[in-house]
Structure 1
Amino acid sequence: MITKLLKNYLNNFTQFSVEVKVLAITTFINRLGAMVVPFLSKYMLEQLHFSYNQIGWVMVFFGTGSFIGTWISGKLSDKIGFYKVMIFSLLGSGVVFILLQFLTTFYSFCFGVLILTTISDMYRPAMLVSLDTYAGKKERTKALSLIRSSVNLGFMFGPLIGGIIITFLDYTFLFYIDGLTCILSILLFAFFVKEKKLPYKLNTFKHLKEENSIFQDKPFLIHLVVTLITGILFFQMFTTLSLYYKEVFNFSSIESGLFLALNGVLILLFELSIVSYVESKNINKLLMVSFGILSMAISYLFLLIEHSVLALIVMMIFMTIGIMFTFPFANSFVKKRSLKKQEGKFMAAFTMSYSVAHILSTKTGMAIIADYGYRANWIFLTCLGFVGFLLAYRLVFVVSKEKETIKKKIVDAIFVSNSK
């Protein structure tokens, strides 16, 4: 069974260009090195002795830096090109990762995290834009899924290796390995991938005005809210949930890493196959997103079953199903709606919604836990997830109606022009 799944995954991998494959490998190495992130809350609690409130504020700076970085990336990708932005992001974040360990006071750590995420999160919007150049039109959703599989493969081994390093060595080694893997990934990328530009540009959605097009695109704005809710549900896996493992179940760093590894294994084995199936059967992608958010909402219900390791496993399975249904198709929707001249701005706005989600997710989660406990936080996330599901499900009909309106305008234009 596993051999067959692995074979199907490798078959999906072979269809892409060399550049897309290198992007996937580079992203894997980069994410493999991001071992600090899943243990950041734990590091601040155990090593720096920060309070819950202080940890929440550090994560606000984490999300703020992400927001700034993605905004800058969107601007620069449209002006100087995605290639230079990606090079700078990977190299800069590698250096800052190494330096972060020397910042031990609350304010200095907030500043360090802000700089780190500002630089590191310039990578993602630029990388998403690069797929238009290095992947064919029909392969772009699969290419996005491949990159996500690389991210999750890195997260599968990264937390596990990180947990082993923390247990047997020290957090210091974690920062050094994080930084060096970022630098290694950029060397690989620069050597194998050369800067290339699209030979032409098209306005995909001519019915949208180019000026302020993002804010005039109502379905896109609804999608941003859905993405925001998805991000809030997702990011708690790396913040409040990691503390929950430690404080309620007394898990070691290795055991906590194994739960994140389960998420990575499932995504590695199934996501590309799911994307391929949805593409081949022409299933409505927004419908998949809505059911994905529903699955993420249900996952938090299982955390209400206290002191059950089985409930934690089932929770992670439902969460992973939700991630596989939402993230690849949410990306695909944004790319299809973006005006080619402003694609960097569209992708930046989309990515910034995750940055805002990171700020809200951690701060609200920590505040709820501090005042009312973990159980109240899981109930809040479940309710929020159901709201996201309703919005995403509504969006299916909004976009469908929009398509019908556009078709009608085209038909009317043809008949009016012929009658003249």
Structure 2
Amino acid sequence: MFQKIFRSYINSFSDLRREVWLLAFITFINRAGTMVIPFLSLYLTKSRGFSLEEVGWILTFFGLGSVAGSWVGGKLVDSIGHYKTMTASLLLSAVLFVLLQFPVSFWSICAGIFLVMLVADAFRPAVFVAISAYSKPENRTRSVTLIRLAINLGFSAGPAVGGLIIANSGYSGLFWVDGITCFLAGLLLLKLLHPKKAKENVKEVNLNPQAVLNDKPYLLFIGAMILFGFIFIQYFSTMPLYYSEVHLLPESDIGLLLGINGFLIFLLEMPLIKYMETKNSSALQNVILGTFLVAISFLVLNLTGWIGALLVGMLFMTIGEMIAFPFSNTFALKRAERGKQGSYMALYSIAFSISHIFGHNSGMQLIGEFGFNLTWYIMVFLGVVACALILWLIRILKKEAVSYSSTPIL
């Protein structure tokens, strides 16, 4: 029985091209190296002495830089290609992460954070387009999932190592390690991946590409993703407060609950995606399912005061995340074939950057004004609205009678 399960798990990773694995490895090194990000608030308060209000504004510049970086990255992909964009982003990020330790004034740090995120997040639309270039069409969703696994593992390993570096070398060591790992990721990209390796998947050039801002169905999809991102990120900002203030959990138990999310993604996401690919559901139908499960995870918390509901809610959220993200990415990549891929995938990245800019602060404000219970009901409502938007999108696409592939993705 165990051998059968293990074999099934290993088989879920089969048929992925070597270049996709290399891209995942480079992404892992890059994300594991961005250790400054999880400790940014602590660094700004403890090392630089800023107030919480000032830190809030600095983090706003973090989000604005992310939006700008995604937009610039999309433009660069369309003009110079994903390979050069990824390489430039990694190598320039290496320099900027090292330099970020030196600004001391409020506005210089705001400018530094904005510049770092502008350059670093130019990598995001480029890596999405690279997935499309290096992966086989039938394996695109699992290729996206592998990159997500690399990102999750990187973000899991980074803070653990970062804490040790701070304990031994202080925050300065953190900036140096961030810079070095970004530089190594850039060198690996230059050494191991080359544009010629994507030539098997080069598609016929679209001589009349549609401007992404004129693609109204895609904009509707982006609106739904902003709402999905808005409710999803509550688990990493307001939800820990709920665990602590309502259920009186210590930090160790809160960390364990959040850790279950990453562990389950690592263990189950790839087999789950391979299984769902065998079903007769379209990509957008799967996105609806994933969004609905995330919304339900908030409802569960309000239905009972039983502490076990926290685990049930986390399970619903994690399964929803594992379904919604890969299939939404797949739809975006496929839709991007109508126009310039960089611009399309930049807008997809920007959707989640916008969620970060407004989601954390809005969640805090809602809790302060109305309390946790009503806030969770609002999240459920926003999730239902996101599902309704995608259902509307499906109807619009059916009326367009657009055939994206032999496998339905509507």
TM-score normalised to structure 1 length: 0.83
Residues 318-352 of structure 1, C-alpha deviations (whole Å, 9 max, x = no match): 22111111110111111111236511111112111
- Bigger drift between 361-370 and 84-93 goes to 361-370
Q: Please name the residue that 1:319 is paired with.
A: 317
Q: Quick one: structure 1 residues 166 and 245, their matched pair in 2 at CA, closer, same or farther if it must change by over 3 Å?
A: farther
1:123 Cα deviation from its structure 2 partner = 0.6
Q: Please name the residue that 1:112 is paired with.
A: 112
Alignment of 1:354 with 2:356, yes or no, is no
The answer (yes or no) to whether the contact 1:159–1:258 under 8 Å persists in 2 is no
Q: Quick one: structure 1 residues 122 and 262, their matched pair in 2 at CA, closer, same or farther if it must change by over 3 Å?
A: same
2: CA distance, partners of 1:180 / 1:305? 48
1:142 Cα deviation from its structure 2 partner = 1.4
Show the 5 A alignment for 1:331-410: 331-339=329-337, 342-369=340-367, 371=369, 377-403=375-401
2: CA distance, partners of 1:184 / 1:233? 35
Unaligned runs of 5+ in 2: 405-410
Q: Please name the residue that 1:188 is paired with.
A: 188
2: CA distance, partners of 1:89 / 1:270? 31
1:388 Cα deviation from its structure 2 partner = 1.3
Q: Quick one: structure 1 residues 210 and 187, their matched pair in 2 at CA, closer, same or farther if it must change by over 3 Å?
A: closer
Q: Quick one: structure 1 residues 312 and 44, their matched pair in 2 at CA, closer, same or farther if it must change by over 3 Å?
A: farther
- Bigger drift between 285-294 and 191-200 goes to 191-200
Counterpart selection for 1:294 from 292, 295, 311: 292
The answer (yes or no) to whether the contact 2:98–2:175 under 8 Å persists in 1 is yes
Q: Please name the residue that 2:22 is paired with.
A: 22
- Matched residue type, 1:71: W
1:261 Cα deviation from its structure 2 partner = 3.0
Q: Quick one: structure 1 residues 93 and 46, their matched pair in 2 at CA, closer, same or farther if it must change by over 3 Å?
A: same
1:20 Cα deviation from its structure 2 partner = 0.9
The answer (yes or no) to whether the contact 1:294–1:389 under 8 Å persists in 2 is yes
- Bigger drift between 262-271 and 297-306 goes to 297-306
1:223 Cα deviation from its structure 2 partner = 0.5
Q: Secondary structure of 2:340's match? A: helix
Q: Secondary structure of 1:143's match? A: helix
Q: Quick one: structure 1 residues 175 and 34, their matched pair in 2 at CA, closer, same or farther if it must change by over 3 Å?
A: same
Counterpart selection for 2:264 from 241, 258, 266: 266
The answer (yes or no) to whether the contact 1:236–1:365 under 8 Å persists in 2 is yes
1:40 Cα deviation from its structure 2 partner = 3.4
Q: Secondary structure of 2:59's match? A: helix
Residues 139-168 of structure 1, C-alpha deviations (whole Å, 9 max, x = no match): 212111111111122233334444565678
Q: Please name the residue that 2:95 is paired with.
A: 95
1:403 Cα deviation from its structure 2 partner = 2.8
Q: Please name the residue that 2:276 is paired with.
A: 278
- Matched residue type, 2:279: K
2: CA distance, partners of 1:303 / 1:132? 39
The count of residues paired between Structure 1 and Structure 2 equals 401
The answer (yes or no) to whether the contact 1:160–1:258 under 8 Å persists in 2 is no
2: CA distance, partners of 1:245 / 1:89? 37
- Matched residue type, 2:137: K
Unaligned runs of 5+ in 1: 407-420
The answer (yes or no) to whether the contact 1:155–1:260 under 8 Å persists in 2 is no
- Matched residue type, 1:10: I
- Bigger drift between 69-78 and 270-279 goes to 270-279
Show the 5 A alignment for 1:107-256: 107-162=107-162, 170-196=170-196, 198=199, 200-202=202-204, 210-212=209-211, 214-241=212-239, 249=248, 251-252=250-251
1:127 Cα deviation from its structure 2 partner = 0.9
The answer (yes or no) to whether the contact 1:70–1:348 under 8 Å persists in 2 is yes
Residues 120-139 of structure 1, C-alpha deviations (whole Å, 9 max, x = no match): 11111111111232112212
Residues 163-211 of structure 1, C-alpha deviations (whole Å, 9 max, x = no match): 565678754444343333222222222221123354754368x9xx735
- Matched residue type, 1:192: L
Q: Quick one: structure 1 residues 337 and 25, their matched pair in 2 at CA, closer, same or farther if it must change by over 3 Å?
A: same
- Matched residue type, 1:187: L
2: CA distance, partners of 1:296 / 1:192? 38
- Matched residue type, 1:394: W
1:14 Cα deviation from its structure 2 partner = 4.0
- Matched residue type, 1:202: E
1: CA distance, partners of 2:195 / 2:136? 17
- Matched residue type, 1:147: I
The answer (yes or no) to whether the contact 1:160–1:257 under 8 Å persists in 2 is no
1:275 Cα deviation from its structure 2 partner = 1.6
Q: Quick one: structure 1 residues 77 and 149, their matched pair in 2 at CA, closer, same or farther if it must change by over 3 Å?
A: same
1: CA distance, partners of 2:224 / 2:37? 24
- Bigger drift between 177-186 and 345-354 goes to 177-186
1:104 Cα deviation from its structure 2 partner = 4.7
Q: Secondary structure of 1:13's match? A: coil
- Matched residue type, 2:281: I
The answer (yes or no) to whether the contact 2:25–2:150 under 8 Å persists in 1 is yes
Q: Quick one: structure 1 residues 269 and 250, their matched pair in 2 at CA, closer, same or farther if it must change by over 3 Å?
A: closer
1:82 Cα deviation from its structure 2 partner = 0.8
Q: Quick one: structure 1 residues 404 and 99, their matched pair in 2 at CA, closer, same or farther if it must change by over 3 Å?
A: closer
- Bigger drift between 97-106 and 258-267 goes to 97-106
The answer (yes or no) to whether the contact 1:74–1:125 under 8 Å persists in 2 is yes
- Bigger drift between 373-382 and 231-240 goes to 373-382
2: CA distance, partners of 1:98 / 1:219? 42
The answer (yes or no) to whether the contact 1:37–1:238 under 8 Å persists in 2 is no
Residues 287-326 of structure 1, C-alpha deviations (whole Å, 9 max, x = no match): 1111211221222345558997644433322221111111
Q: Please name the residue that 2:407 is paired with.
A: none
The answer (yes or no) to whether the contact 2:17–2:134 under 8 Å persists in 1 is yes
1:69 Cα deviation from its structure 2 partner = 0.8
